[in-house]
Structure 1
Amino acid sequence: MRLTRRNIVKSIGATSLAIASGRVGATSSQTLDVAVVGAGVFGSWTAWHLRKRGLKVALYDAYGPGNVRSSSGGESRVIRLSYGGDPLYSSMALESLGYWKALSDRQSTPIFYPTGVLWFSPERDQYMQRSLAWLEAQKISHRSGNADWLGKNWPQIRFDANEVGFIEEDTGGLIANRAVQATVRDAGLKPVIAHVGPPRNGQAGGFELPDGQRARKLVYALGPWLGNLFPGTLGERLSVTRQEVFYFGPPDGDDRFAAGRFPVWADFNGGDIVYGLPDIEGRGFKIAFDRHGPAIDPNSLEREPSSEGISMARAFIANRFPALADAPLVQARVCQYTNTSNGDFLIDWLPGNRDVLLIGGGSGHGFKHGPAVGKRAAELLVSGSAQAEPRFSLETKGINTNRQVY
């Protein structure tokens, strides 16, 4: 069913009445324009954009926005613009940055920290060179230099003599779970905690929902659970992998690794990315390896860090950050990536049904793009048109892993 201009105008009036009466998010006998299933970063921003267009929207999640099991939960995420010169993701990240900054400014406690993002690698690395060229072409604020320049500006890091780097000056870190929850509040929505199964049409028209509501259109943005719900369509096209992140405690009284004195960083060597965030809000110095872990089921995943992962993180820190060589592990988190075959997102209709939109495949780099993904999804839902970006189409999602997006 196409969302016509007349339907949108009607929805604006109904939404205004609901806001005035304090009934936003409550169960109603009226048919929703869209029900969004999954209150992670993709689902919450899709709901946000739909609400800003005046549509009647409800948001459903099995555990709640920013919950610890979700890929959008946890403490922090990177928002960076560099994608090896890829204009699609760099442009989406730039667009999303504006939304994140504006949302953060509306909060009593910030969700965005403008620490900058520091990249370093051996010189002549093509990914780095293309990234730097894109920043220069777009006139994005940045600085660059050789190993001497890097060491002078960030003496906390041990650099190799042949390394070069650059810093994006206006990007930084996001507080993940708080950011998702802020997005939902900013949309004026109260999430419904419920399990929503595959699409089910009701006798009275629209899709039936577990709280008795009906919706003309459905969005499924379920992160690692998306393939489980649509096994025939997505079961082999999405792989879910176990990922570990670690937080180490800087020495007492030492603020050299704190936000404000230290940036988000990415060590890009031979296609192997190790990245981390400074100590933000006393959460510890974060380190993670951007490589796919073993395949898992998100329903049964035990979220205990491995001794191998801790040892690998300690060895890396001792080499790159000598002052933290003896730092204690203060926190660890086990989450998951939901990977497409090449790292491109999925934003497309369920085959044969222009009333059900599937969003997923964040592939480890999706969080920062939440606002831009939500905007693209909202445009599809309002227009009812086919997915115009081939890279986000279901058709381009293969079953053989060949990661192309970093």
Structure 2
Amino acid sequence: MTTTFSPTATIEAKATPFPTFASTSSVVVVGAGAFGGWSALYLLRQGYNVTLVDAWGPGNSRASSGDETRVIRSTYGANEVYFDLNVRALSLWKENEKLFNKKLFHNSGVLWFCYEEKTPLVDDSIPFAQKHAMEYERLSLAELKKRFPIIYTDDLHHAYFDPYGGYLKARESCQAVQEQFVREGGNYIQAQATPGTIDQQQLDSVKLSDGRSLQADVYLFACGSWLGKIFPDILSNVITCTKQEVYYFGVPAEYASIYDNFPVWVDVDGKDFYYGIAGNAHRGFKIGVDIRGAIFDPSKSERSITPEALAKARAFISHRFPGLKNAPLTESRICPYENSPDGNLIFEVHPHASNIVLLGGGSGHGFKHGPALGELVANTFAGKAAPPDIFRSALK
């Protein structure tokens, strides 16, 4: 089963070289979420003339890059590509938040609940953690109970604590990136953008909802859950959007500081993969489920929760965190996942237009990689790097 936590690690190599674009080129980036915003900023820093376009604005409530928080962790089983990408992203998050003068990365650590003696999702990442001097701490049940007494541990085998991970401010960071992009000289337009005409392997323009057209040398579409709708001929069966629900539960007043300071956590049950982010600006104890939800229209579907999914999440949180039994639901969010077939990110050229680049397939785990992915996009355009083969596997 492909999940947020375990995208496919091995695929057949892509032979086609990625095109490069001169630093004098003009670029239109469609989508100001985690992928588009960071790409626009790093393309601008590379010297490109960049215009960033978004229909509802960065961090809006429809976007996959919305909500309050996202997990940042390097653990991807045996998939070293993402471990390395996250190590770079973590460095860039720290570097850029100083520039933004805004706290975006919260180093709360990530706690992995393991049911079996062998847990490949975590175990197979340990050599990479050692390689980067970012080693995990294995906790016996006795150590886990002593250190985190609010957890029910009797059905667990052990836990791992990653002290280098934590969570990111999601909505706020998208806005901060867009603001910095403008400060550094980028052009931002809030409008809906649709592709113009493809002729002789070239897109001629993008059409804006305000009646204008934009012409550029290259067009980067980083539209999250909308990517499949914009290019239905090649992506309708590649990008699927699902409805993922997250809940914020109110914690007992007398123990609020204990819950607020709890690490990010992941329950590695092999089925639901519940995860959570505690504290996050005192908004409550957040829990999400990684198992894929119903097909979802990111533009038209209402952000209402599913009673059955909520009931199941309540049952889990009452089990794993007994002190939260009967905790009130204080908030909820719908987090659309734009799923690729194998869980990998998509960074590829449109097969019928060499000046269209597609960036997406976040599959619920892409947000954290934003700055490293933006840097990779800029370096790839300039011919200084190339996307990993697994990012080019969806459009064979």
**Structure 1 residue 56: deviation in Å?**
1.1
**Structure 1 residues 258 and 101: CA distance shift in structure 2, 3 A:** farther
Give ranges in structure 1 of 5+ residues lacking alignment.
Answer: 12-31, 399-406
Q: Aligned partner of 1:207: which letter?
A: S
**Structure 1 residues 194 and 124: CA distance shift in structure 2, 3 A:** same
**Structure 1 residue 47: deviation in Å?**
0.3
Q: Hey, what does 1:82 align to over in structure 2? A: 75
Q: Hey, what does 2:92 align to over in structure 1? A: 99
Give the TM-score taking structure 2 as reference length.
Answer: 0.87
Say whether residues 1:136 and 2:135 are aligned partners. Answer: no
**Structure 1 residue 148: deviation in Å?**
1.0
- The separation in 2 between residues aligned to 1:384 and 1:148, in whole angstroms, is 50
**Structure 1 residues 249 and 322: CA distance shift in structure 2, 3 A:** same
Give ranges in structure 2 of 5+ residues lacking alignment.
Answer: 1-18
Q: Hey, what does 1:3 align to over in structure 2? A: 21
- The separation in 2 between residues aligned to 1:303 and 1:266, in whole angstroms, is 24
CA contact (8 A) 2:244 2:334 kept: yes
- The separation in 1 between residues aligned to 2:73 and 2:207, in whole angstroms, is 37
- The separation in 2 between residues aligned to 1:196 and 1:336, in whole angstroms, is 20
CA contact (8 A) 2:97 2:104 kept: yes
Q: Aligned partner of 1:112: which letter?
A: F
CA contact (8 A) 2:32 2:57 kept: yes
Q: Aligned partner of 2:126: which letter?
A: L
- The separation in 2 between residues aligned to 1:253 and 1:52, in whole angstroms, is 48
**Structure 1 residue 61: deviation in Å?**
0.5
User: Kindly, what percent of the aligned residue pairs are identical?
Assistant: 35
- The separation in 2 between residues aligned to 1:222 and 1:250, in whole angstroms, is 36
- The separation in 1 between residues aligned to 2:206 and 2:338, in whole angstroms, is 27
Residue 144 of structure 1 aligns to a residue whose secondary structure is: strand
Say whether residues 1:150 and 2:150 are aligned partners. Answer: no
CA contact (8 A) 1:34 1:217 kept: yes
- Deviations along 1:175-215, whole A, 9 cap, x unmatched? 1000111111222345311111114479xx96355345421
* RMSD between superposed Cα atoms in Å: 2.2
Q: Hey, what does 1:339 align to over in structure 2? A: 339
Q: Which moved more, 1:182-191 or 1:142-151?
A: 182-191
**Structure 1 residue 282: deviation in Å?**
1.3
**Structure 1 residues 107 and 208: CA distance shift in structure 2, 3 A:** closer
CA contact (8 A) 1:247 1:332 kept: yes
Residue 86 of structure 2 aligns to a residue whose secondary structure is: helix
**Structure 1 residues 141 and 384: CA distance shift in structure 2, 3 A:** closer
- The separation in 2 between residues aligned to 1:224 and 1:208, in whole angstroms, is 19
**Structure 1 residue 380: deviation in Å?**
2.9
Say whether residues 1:366 and 2:360 are aligned partners. Answer: no
Q: Hey, what does 1:193 align to over in structure 2? A: 190
Q: Hey, what does 1:263 align to over in structure 2? A: 263
**Structure 1 residues 341 and 208: CA distance shift in structure 2, 3 A:** closer
Higher RCO structure, 1 or 2 (CA under 8 Å, sep 6+): 2
CA contact (8 A) 2:167 2:264 kept: yes
Q: Hey, what does 1:352 align to over in structure 2? A: 352
Q: Which moved more, 1:118-127 or 1:72-81?
A: 118-127
Q: Aligned partner of 2:38: which letter?
A: W
Q: Hey, what does 2:220 align to over in structure 1? A: 219
CA contact (8 A) 2:195 2:207 kept: no
- The separation in 2 between residues aligned to 1:92 and 1:271, in whole angstroms, is 26
Q: Which moved more, 1:135-144 or 1:175-184?
A: 135-144
**Structure 1 residues 221 and 148: CA distance shift in structure 2, 3 A:** same
- Deviations along 1:110-140, whole A, 9 cap, x unmatched? 1111101111212222222112333233320
Q: Hey, what does 1:36 align to over in structure 2? A: 29
Q: Hey, what does 1:401 align to over in structure 2? A: none
CA contact (8 A) 1:341 1:397 kept: no
Q: Hey, what does 2:178 align to over in structure 1? A: 184
- The separation in 2 between residues aligned to 1:163 and 1:194, in whole angstroms, is 52
**Structure 1 residues 312 and 65: CA distance shift in structure 2, 3 A:** same
- The separation in 2 between residues aligned to 1:185 and 1:95, in whole angstroms, is 22
Q: Hey, what does 2:309 align to over in structure 1? A: 309
- Deviations along 1:81-137, whole A, 9 cap, x unmatched? 111131001111111111112222334441111101111212222222112333233
Residue 157 of structure 1 aligns to a residue whose secondary structure is: coil
CA contact (8 A) 2:277 2:287 kept: yes
Q: Hey, what does 1:274 align to over in structure 2? A: 274
- The separation in 1 between residues aligned to 2:351 and 2:219, in whole angstroms, is 13
- Deviations along 1:336-361, whole A, 9 cap, x unmatched? 11111110111000113221100111
CA contact (8 A) 1:77 1:174 kept: yes
- Deviations along 1:209-250, whole A, 9 cap, x unmatched? 534542111000111111111111111111111110000111
- Deviations along 1:341-387, whole A, 9 cap, x unmatched? 110111000113221100111011111111122122222323399x6
**Structure 1 residues 127 and 141: CA distance shift in structure 2, 3 A:** closer
**How many residue pairs are counted as aligned between the two chains?**
368
